[in-house]
Amino acid sequence: MQVRVGGKPRPFRSVSFDASANAVCLIDQRLLPHRFRLVRTTSYEDTALAIREMTVRGAPAIAATAAYGLAQGVRAYSGKDRRTFSRYVRQVHRTLLEARPTAVDPAHSMAEVLAAMKQGRTIAEKQALALAAAEEFAHRSAEECRALGEQGLALVREGMGILTHCNAGWLACVDYGTATAPLYLAHARGLRFHVYCTETRPRSQGATLTAWELAQQGIPHTVIADTAAGLLMRSGRVDMVLVGSDRVLARTGDVTNKIGTYNLAVLARHHGIPFYVAVPLSTLDWSLDSAEQIPIEERAPSEVLGAWGVPQRPDAGQGSRLRPSQARRLYVRVANPGSPAWNPAFDVTPAALVTGILTPKGLYRPEQLWPHRPGLEGPFHL
Active site residues: 246
142: helix, strand or coil: helix
Residue 379 · residue 141 · CB < 8 Å:
no
Q: Which long-range contacts (CB under 8 A, 24 or more apart) does 2-9 make?
A: 2/216, 2/217, 3/36, 3/216, 4/216, 5/36
Cα angle 244, 226, 61 (rounded to 5 degrees) comes to 30
Neighbours of 303 (CB within 10 A): 18
Residue 257 · residue 103 · CB < 8 Å:
no
Residue 220 · residue 194 · CB < 8 Å:
yes
HSE on the CB side for 122, CA within 13 Å? 6
Q: Which residues pair with 359 in a beta bridge?
A: 362
Which residues contact residue 157 at a Cβ distance below 8 angstroms, ignoring those fewer than 6 apart? 191, 193, 239
Which residues contact residue 243 at a Cβ distance below 8 angstroms, ignoring those fewer than 6 apart? 164, 165, 166, 168, 179, 257, 258, 261, 264, 275, 276, 277, 278
Q: How far apart (Å, rounded) are the C-alpha atoms in residues 157 and 228?
A: 24
Residue 241's nearest CA partner among 177, 166, 313, 302 is: 166
Residue 222 · residue 196 · CB < 8 Å:
yes
Neighbours of 308 (CB within 10 A): 16
Q: How far apart (Å, rounded) are the C-alpha atoms in residues 150 and 162?
A: 17
Please spell the DSSP secondary structure of 322-378, one letter per residue.
Answer: --GGG---EEEE-SPTT-----BSEEEE-GGG-SEEEETTEEE-GGGTGGGHHHHS-
User: Alpha-carbon dihedral of residues 305, 310, 316, 317, nearest 10 degrees?
Assistant: -90
Q: How far apart (Å, rounded) are the C-alpha atoms in residues 257 and 246?
A: 5
